Amino acid sequence: MLFEDSAHRLYRLRVPGYSTPIVIRGGNGSDGLVFYQIFVRRDYDVVADLADPELIIDGGANIGLASLYFLNKYPNVRIIAVEPDSANLEICRQNLRPFTDRVSLVEGALWSKCGRLALERQELDWCTRVGLPEAETIGTVE
Protein backbone atom coordinates (compact mmCIF):
# COMPACT_ATOMS: atom_id res chain seq x y z
CA MET A 1 0.00 0.00 0.00
CA LEU A 2 1.36 3.45 -0.88
CA PHE A 3 -0.62 5.69 1.46
CA GLU A 4 -4.06 6.19 2.89
CA ASP A 5 -6.26 9.25 3.01
CA SER A 6 -9.89 9.69 3.96
CA ALA A 7 -11.18 8.78 0.49
CA HIS A 8 -9.00 5.99 -0.94
CA ARG A 9 -6.11 3.67 -0.30
CA LEU A 10 -3.60 3.34 -3.12
CA TYR A 11 -2.28 -0.11 -4.00
CA ARG A 12 0.60 -1.20 -6.24
CA LEU A 13 -0.26 -4.30 -8.24
CA ARG A 14 2.27 -6.39 -10.16
CA VAL A 15 1.12 -7.76 -13.51
CA PRO A 16 3.10 -10.44 -15.39
CA GLY A 17 4.80 -8.89 -18.41
CA TYR A 18 4.82 -5.35 -16.97
CA SER A 19 8.08 -3.99 -15.59
CA THR A 20 6.59 -1.65 -12.99
CA PRO A 21 3.68 -2.00 -10.56
CA ILE A 22 0.30 -0.51 -11.46
CA VAL A 23 -1.28 1.94 -9.01
CA ILE A 24 -5.02 1.69 -8.33
CA ARG A 25 -7.28 3.12 -5.64
CA GLY A 26 -9.17 0.85 -3.29
CA GLY A 27 -12.62 1.56 -1.96
CA ASN A 28 -15.84 1.80 -3.94
CA GLY A 29 -14.34 3.44 -7.04
CA SER A 30 -14.02 1.99 -10.50
CA ASP A 31 -10.25 1.37 -10.58
CA GLY A 32 -10.50 -2.29 -9.59
CA LEU A 33 -13.15 -2.96 -12.23
CA VAL A 34 -11.12 -1.27 -14.97
CA PHE A 35 -8.02 -3.20 -13.88
CA TYR A 36 -10.01 -6.44 -14.03
CA GLN A 37 -11.38 -5.66 -17.51
CA ILE A 38 -7.98 -4.82 -19.00
CA PHE A 39 -5.48 -7.09 -17.22
CA VAL A 40 -7.54 -10.08 -16.03
CA ARG A 41 -10.40 -10.43 -18.50
CA ARG A 42 -8.12 -8.98 -21.22
CA ASP A 43 -10.87 -7.04 -23.01
CA TYR A 44 -8.40 -5.17 -25.25
CA ASP A 45 -6.83 -8.33 -26.66
CA VAL A 46 -9.41 -8.22 -29.48
CA VAL A 47 -7.71 -5.12 -30.93
CA ALA A 48 -4.17 -5.98 -29.93
CA ASP A 49 -3.30 -7.66 -33.23
CA LEU A 50 -3.56 -4.45 -35.23
CA ALA A 51 -0.54 -3.28 -37.21
CA ASP A 52 1.83 -1.30 -35.01
CA PRO A 53 0.14 2.07 -34.53
CA GLU A 54 2.24 5.24 -34.40
CA LEU A 55 -0.18 7.25 -32.26
CA ILE A 56 -3.10 6.49 -29.95
CA ILE A 57 -5.27 9.17 -28.37
CA ASP A 58 -6.71 7.91 -25.09
CA GLY A 59 -9.67 10.26 -24.66
CA GLY A 60 -10.88 9.84 -21.10
CA ALA A 61 -7.67 8.20 -19.90
CA ASN A 62 -8.93 7.76 -16.33
CA ILE A 63 -5.93 6.38 -14.36
CA GLY A 64 -4.01 5.37 -17.49
CA LEU A 65 -4.63 1.62 -17.58
CA ALA A 66 -5.62 1.44 -21.27
CA SER A 67 -2.64 3.63 -22.19
CA LEU A 68 -0.40 1.38 -20.11
CA TYR A 69 -1.73 -1.70 -21.89
CA PHE A 70 -1.06 -0.21 -25.35
CA LEU A 71 2.38 1.15 -24.37
CA ASN A 72 3.34 -2.35 -23.23
CA LYS A 73 1.85 -4.00 -26.34
CA TYR A 74 3.32 -1.60 -28.92
CA PRO A 75 6.90 -0.57 -28.02
CA ASN A 76 7.01 2.28 -30.56
CA VAL A 77 3.58 3.83 -30.05
CA ARG A 78 3.15 7.40 -28.79
CA ILE A 79 0.10 8.15 -26.67
CA ILE A 80 -1.75 11.34 -25.92
CA ALA A 81 -3.70 10.65 -22.71
CA VAL A 82 -6.53 13.15 -22.14
CA GLU A 83 -8.28 13.20 -18.75
CA PRO A 84 -10.46 16.00 -17.31
CA ASP A 85 -10.53 14.83 -13.68
CA SER A 86 -7.44 15.99 -11.75
CA ALA A 87 -7.64 13.13 -9.20
CA ASN A 88 -7.69 10.54 -12.00
CA LEU A 89 -4.92 12.40 -13.83
CA GLU A 90 -2.63 12.23 -10.79
CA ILE A 91 -2.91 8.41 -10.66
CA CYS A 92 -2.56 8.31 -14.46
CA ARG A 93 0.67 10.30 -14.16
CA GLN A 94 2.03 7.76 -11.65
CA ASN A 95 1.09 4.80 -13.85
CA LEU A 96 2.58 6.28 -17.02
CA ARG A 97 5.73 7.78 -15.45
CA PRO A 98 8.02 5.04 -16.89
CA PHE A 99 6.89 6.07 -20.39
CA THR A 100 7.35 9.86 -20.25
CA ASP A 101 9.30 9.76 -23.51
CA ARG A 102 6.27 8.26 -25.29
CA VAL A 103 3.31 9.83 -23.47
CA SER A 104 1.83 13.30 -23.38
CA LEU A 105 -0.67 13.91 -20.57
CA VAL A 106 -3.36 16.52 -21.12
CA GLU A 107 -5.69 17.73 -18.37
CA GLY A 108 -8.68 18.42 -20.54
CA ALA A 109 -11.45 16.82 -22.53
CA LEU A 110 -12.35 16.03 -26.13
CA TRP A 111 -15.14 18.24 -27.44
CA SER A 112 -16.44 19.51 -30.77
CA LYS A 113 -14.95 23.00 -30.29
CA CYS A 114 -12.55 24.88 -28.04
CA GLY A 115 -14.00 26.33 -24.87
CA ARG A 116 -14.70 25.80 -21.20
CA LEU A 117 -16.45 22.59 -20.13
CA ALA A 118 -17.99 21.62 -16.82
CA LEU A 119 -17.10 18.42 -14.98
CA GLU A 120 -19.95 16.31 -13.62
CA ARG A 121 -18.97 13.68 -11.04
CA GLN A 122 -20.98 10.45 -11.17
CA GLU A 123 -20.81 7.56 -8.69
CA LEU A 124 -17.69 5.84 -10.01
CA ASP A 125 -14.30 7.40 -10.78
CA TRP A 126 -14.61 6.53 -14.47
CA CYS A 127 -17.96 8.29 -14.73
CA THR A 128 -16.81 11.89 -14.66
CA ARG A 129 -18.51 13.55 -17.62
CA VAL A 130 -17.97 16.85 -19.32
CA GLY A 131 -20.68 19.11 -20.62
CA LEU A 132 -21.60 22.71 -21.07
CA PRO A 133 -21.05 24.81 -17.91
CA GLU A 134 -24.72 25.24 -16.95
CA ALA A 135 -24.74 21.74 -15.36
CA GLU A 136 -23.98 21.23 -11.65
CA THR A 137 -20.22 20.82 -11.63
CA ILE A 138 -17.18 19.84 -9.61
CA GLY A 139 -14.92 22.07 -11.71
CA THR A 140 -14.13 23.05 -15.25
CA VAL A 141 -11.50 22.31 -17.89
CA GLU A 142 -10.54 24.37 -20.88
- For residue range 73-85, list pLDDT tens digits in order: 999 999 999 999 8
Q: What is the pLDDT of residue 55?
A: 97
Helix or strand (DSSP H, E) at 90: helix 86-96
Domains of the chain, start order: 10-114 (3.40.50.150)
Residue 130 burial by CB count (10 A; 0-12/13-18/19+): exposed, middle or buried? buried
Give per-residue pLDDT as tens, 7-36: 558 999 999 999 999 999 987 778 999 999
pLDDT, position 126: 54
121 sits in the region (left: phi over 0; alpha: psi -120 to 50; else beta) called beta
Beta-strand runs (E) in 27-77 = 55-59
- The answer to which of 14-23, 31-40, 65-74, 118-127 has the lowest mean pLDDT is 118-127
pLDDT band at residue 1 using 50, 70 and 90 as cut-offs: very low
What φ, ψ does residue 104 adopt, rounded to 5°?
A: -115, 125
**Inter-CA distances, 101 with 1, 51, 61, 98, 139, Å:** 27, 21, 17, 8, 30
pTM for the complete prediction?
Answer: 0.81
